[in-house]
Amino acid sequence: MKYEEWAILEDIQVRGEYILLSFHSPMIAKEAQPGQFVNVRVVEALDPLLRRPVSIADCRREKGEIKLLVQIRGKGTALLAQRYRHDRVSLVGPLGRGFPLVNKEVILVGGGVGVAPFVWLQRHYPSSQLVMGFRSEAFIPPLDWFDQSRVVIVTDDGSRGKKGNILTALEEMDLSQKVIFACGPHKMLSAIASFLEKRNFGGDAYFSTESMMACGFGACKGCVIPRKDETYALCCSDGPVFHWKEIAWEK
């Protein structure tokens, strides 16, 4: 069930190009699952016209609180960074299909702002390993927003952590009997899928897609992604989380 809720902004942390927003949003917090998202109306005016889809980074049901981790990329997110505590912001959610709940050891893999859902998932799976990949140290969000006890960082230029990309870290890991949850750009997810196929990975992996969205609930058909069976899925309503074997990542 989704709601439109005028949530109260209880806290906002702006650090570099990242924002962590905490909202009192009891209806959404009650229903949300890891991997789902909300559609945010940044301002009451019609510019920007469309809502912004933002992953739910964390949720505290008992407090009626959700957190959103946002990277400042354009006008909408820049305006969001200018909001103040106690402002009311229109949220629609929770939307989409999130990550399944599993009883196996989990490896979390995120690239760029795709690491956002893992704040919550780290709490849900406290023994999970988190692999984070970025272009350079300058693009890493504040690490104190995450549990740093089981984190592996890779950067393309080697400015922080290991030099390389996500696959550099995965190649060194034992993936047997593990479930992989990944979130990031399509190119990264496609590379992970190809890597898993070459490794004859027989386990489960679930990928959360990043896509431009207009409506957020499947009406506009603007966020299609090809399936392997030659049909199309909607990232907003069929996803954003898909089993890795469902999607034709190479297209």
Question: For the chain, first and last CA: distance in Å?
Answer: 32
* DSSP string for 177-224: TEEEEEES-HHHHHHHHHHHHHTT--S-EEEE-----SSSSSSS--SE
76 is in an annotated binding site: yes
* DSSP for residue 251: -
236 is in an annotated binding site: yes
What CA–CA distance (Å, rounded) separates 151 from 165? 14
Does residue 101 sit in helix, strand or coil?
coil
54 is in an annotated binding site: yes
The Cα angle at residue 41 between residues 37 and 43, in degrees rounded to 5: 150
180: left (phi over 0), alpha (psi -120 to 50) or beta: beta
52 is in an annotated binding site: yes
Longest dimension (CA), the chain: 51
55 is in an annotated binding site: yes
36 is in an annotated binding site: no
Does residue 118 sit in helix, strand or coil?
helix
Rounded to whole angstroms, what are the CA distances from 246 to 34, 60, 72, 208?
20, 31, 31, 12
71 is in an annotated binding site: yes
220 is in an annotated binding site: yes
155 is in an annotated binding site: no
223 is in an annotated binding site: yes
What CA–CA distance (Å, rounded) separates 90 from 162? 40
Q: Which residues are annotated as a binding site for FAD?
A: 52-55, 69-71, 76-77
Which residue ranges make up the annotated binding site? 52-55, 69-71, 76-77, 215, 220, 223, 236
- Please report, in range form, the residues annotated as the binding site for [2Fe-2S] cluster: 215, 220, 223, 236
